[in-house]
Amino acid sequence: MYMKKIAHIFILLTILAVASTATAQNNEYFIHTVSKGQTLYSISKMYGTTVKDIIDINPGSAAKIDIGQELKIRQSSNDNIQNDGKKAIFHTIKSGETLYRLGQMYKITPQEICAANPGLSISNFRSGEVILIPQRKKETPQTTAVLVKETKETPAEDPDNKNNIKIRTTHKVERNETLYSITRKYGITEDQLKRANPQENLDKAKLKKNAILNIPYPTKEAVQQKQEVVKGEPQEKSDAEIFRQMEELRDAAANKSSFDGIKVALILPFLLDSYAPNEQARMVEYYEGFLLAANKLKKEGYSFEINTYDSGKESNSLLPLINSGELDNMDLIIGALYPSHNKQLANFAKEKNIPLVIPFTSKEDEIFRNPMVYVVNTIQSYFFPEVIDHFFEEFPEPNVIFISDGTDNKKEFVDALKERLQQENAPYATLPLTAFFNAEYKQDSIITILQDTLSTMLLQDKNNLFIPISSSETTLATVLPVLHLMNNNDTVALPEYKLFGYPEWQIYASNMGSQIYEVDTYFYASFFSHPTLVETSEFRNDYTRWYNRNIQNTFPRYSMLGYDTGYTFLAAISKYSTDMPEKINELPSRLVQTGFKFERVNNWGGMVNKKIYFVRYKPEFVIDKIDFDKR
């Protein structure tokens, strides 16, 4: 009796110690590890703090932060407020922690942790990962102590000889299984399992997938102990088991949802009560493209109820619409244009668990704290790392010559590219734009001087690339003719080279004539269409046939954006229901202008589009829209 009390007290003290550790982390700070595309601004928005506060407790971070760098984030400074008005708590996972133990630590269930972190999975539940800890609306007393019963297990004959242990069966280890989960499955103790498998060295080695383990018969005492567990007492489950259960629940919810005729709210500023012809025309074209997508999907067997609302001017509030209850039963909301409207819709979507698609602006802070938000227009801080990764994929062994015109409006991108070039030990240099144009010299003199300079800068067996630091039409129009003439000048045999640039080039590429093809020009873009591409030509024909007019010459083309977002999200919500976040990227690509590759910005936040194309104007006078995800 005395020993039982000691054991019980020991466990309670352990629980208190764990709770003390949790409190220390909650009330002081937690650790965030910087990942690709994150900035101090985006990190501050994730945690509801300020850039200044992060800098204050992380000396040196104002100048630069690197991927993999650890930052302290003050827990008490966050203003992440849940729907019930309570402040959110963040936790950095430590080695050895499990969902079950975190649930005990914070007095919530593992399932509640998973629900608050839809981006969390067995693959990223690891040390250093930050998760959101939800706070219960109403605290209810819980019994977390476990009754410990003393048992004396009868050892098998000659415990050092596994052949004298009666083997019941064998077990093939599956991915993510643990000693704990296997012993629970067969009603044996870890000590029994270890003694039945001395060759596996289970005390020190990790379980290996596909390893074959001997499973002994349980002892009478072990069976008795299992039977004496208090009925209804929570049993510890492995992380793999919990995530599998959550996936099954999500699939069940998706299967139960009847999406035969989904309800969609499309909220756009048609500005019916004001005069803004350009903006009105863009929104009308977006709507018309959206209807073309819906019509195509209806022919494929889908059914929709599309409810369209005029959000009006930016100064208008959407709260009357939200409070009217009209949006409560929607399965999907698309819109709006203005950040103030999107913030109101995002709060509503989070409360009602309705996916919200923001198709226009990328400056939406709500994505960092709202799991229901999808941002179509790629956020710049996530944009550049994707471009640079694809750059090295397309151009291995690069040798870059940057061209500066003094304005250098693409300096941020170029600085990021230079940093990666340095990491890869790739050579680069910078030339002034005046090297390509000087009023004191004739063009043939410029070519001769430039060829002499480039004869030492361009390298054999390298991917030589000229990259202006400005996206302006003037810079492109200055550089392109000179590069073209050098290509056709036989006086000096220079190594091959290409021109690489920016999304804006698609606006004035047609003004550059054949030279943009002959120089072998590339640029990156998150959207691109061209009359010579099959999908563009087919869409233009459909649009003209339906609406009896041509598409506006804007970038992006809003009718195509309406079609691409409409087709993708109407199909995804119909096909996948609540599984849309996990499966939207599995949809077949049948898009015209804008591609989609969605990823969560963090475990509790929304989905950002990271799709990037490279567009190549080839010397064969063919345009190639390079999709790296299809290679």
Banded pLDDT at 66 (limits 50, 70, 90): very high
Q: Which two tokens stand for residue 490?
A: 């036989």
Question: Which amino acid belongs to residue 318?
Answer: L
Least confident of 4-13, 493-502, 581-590: 4-13
What whole-number distance in Å separates Cα of residue 131 and Cα of residue 117? 7
Q: How far is CA 130 from CA 246, 379, 441, in A?
A: 19, 21, 61
Q: What is the DSSP letter of 76?
A: G
What whole-number distance in Å separates Cα of residue 217 and Cα of residue 610? 53
Q: How far is CA 507 from CA 154, 408, 503, 610, in A?
A: 81, 19, 8, 22
For position 488, what pLDDT does the model report?
77
pLDDT tens digits, one per residue of 231-280 = 444 567 787 888 887 777 666 655 544 445 789 999 999 987 777 788 89
Is CATH 3.40.50.970 the classification given to domain 262-378+535-615? Answer: no
What whole-number distance in Å separates Cα of residue 267 and Cα of residue 338? 11
Find the mean pLDDT for residues 593-599: 95
Does the pLDDT at position 57 exceed 90?
Answer: yes
What whole-number distance in Å separates Cα of residue 567 and Cα of residue 561? 10
For position 265, what pLDDT does the model report?
97
Residue with tokens 């024909």: 541
Q: Which of 509, 481, 525, 528 is nearest to 617 (CA)?
A: 509
pLDDT tens digits, one per residue of 267-311 = 999 987 777 788 899 999 999 999 999 999 999 999 989 999 999
For position 591, what pLDDT does the model report?
93
Phi and psi angles of residue 472, each rounded to the nearest 5 degrees, phi first: -70, 150
pLDDT tens digits, one per residue of 538-550 = 999 999 999 999 9
For position 153, what pLDDT does the model report?
36
262-378+535-615 and 385-525 in the same fold: yes
Q: What is the DSSP letter of 328?
A: T
Choose which CATH entry (3.90.1150.10, 3.40.50.720, 3.60.20.10, 3.10.350.10) describes domain 162-252: 3.10.350.10
In this structure, the chain runs to a length of 631
What whole-number distance in Å separates Cα of residue 505 and Cα of residue 533? 17
Q: How far is CA 516 from CA 159, 275, 469, in A?
A: 79, 40, 18
Higher pLDDT, 86 or 457: 457
What whole-number distance in Å separates Cα of residue 345 and Cα of residue 333? 9
What whole-number distance in Å separates Cα of residue 569 and Cα of residue 596? 10
**How many Cβ atoms from other residues are within 10 Å of residue 472's Cβ?**
17
For position 456, what pLDDT does the model report?
85
Rounded to two decimals, the pTM is 0.78
For position 391, what pLDDT does the model report?
98
Residue with tokens 């409006």: 409
| Domain 2-133: assigned CATH number | 3.10.350.10
Q: How far is CA 361 from CA 335, 357, 371, in A?
A: 10, 11, 18
DSSP β-bridge partners for residue 357: 334, 374
Higher pLDDT, 12 or 590: 590
Choose the most confident range, by mean pLDDT, from 15-24, 136-145, 190-199, 583-592.
583-592
For position 476, what pLDDT does the model report?
95
Report CA dihedral (167, 170, 175, 176) to the nearest 10 degrees.
-20
| Long-range pairs of 231-234 with CB within 8 A, sequence gap ≥ 24 | 233/146, 233/147
Q: Which two tokens stand for residue 70?
A: 């650890």
Report CA dihedral (508, 512, 517, 521) to the nearest 10 degrees.
-50
Is CATH 3.40.50.2300 the classification given to domain 385-525? Answer: yes
Find the mean pLDDT for residues 100-108: 91
Listed by start position, the domains of the chain span 2-133, 162-252, 262-378+535-615, 385-525
Computed over every residue of the chain, the mean pLDDT equals 83
